Copies of this chain bind each other. A is one copy, B any other.
Amino acid sequence: MKTDQIAQLEPSESTGRIEAFSDGIFGVAITLLALEIGVEEYKGATDANLLTHIYELMPKYIAYINSFATVLLMWLAHHQMFRLIKKPSNGLMLANGLLLLVIALVPFPTKTVGQFIDTDAKGIAVKFYTGYFLLVNFVFLLLWTIASSKSKPLLHAFASTEIVKAVNRSILTGLLINFICFGLSFINPWLGVTTNIISWLYWMVAF
Residues of chain A whose beta carbon lies under 8 Å from any beta carbon of chain B:
1-3, 5-6, 9-10, 13, 17, 19-21, 23-35, 37-39, 41, 44-47, 49-51, 54, 64-65, 68-69, 72, 75-77, 79-81, 83-84, 90, 93-94, 97, 100-101, 104-105, 107-108, 111-112, 115-116, 119-125, 128, 158, 162-163, 166-167, 170, 204, 207
Contact = CB atoms under 8 A, between A and B. Distances in A.
Nearest to A33: B104
Number of copies: 4
A192 to B, nearest CB: 14
Contacts of A29: 31, 34
A166 B2 contact: yes
Contact of A121 (B23, B45, B65): B45
B32 A124 contact: no
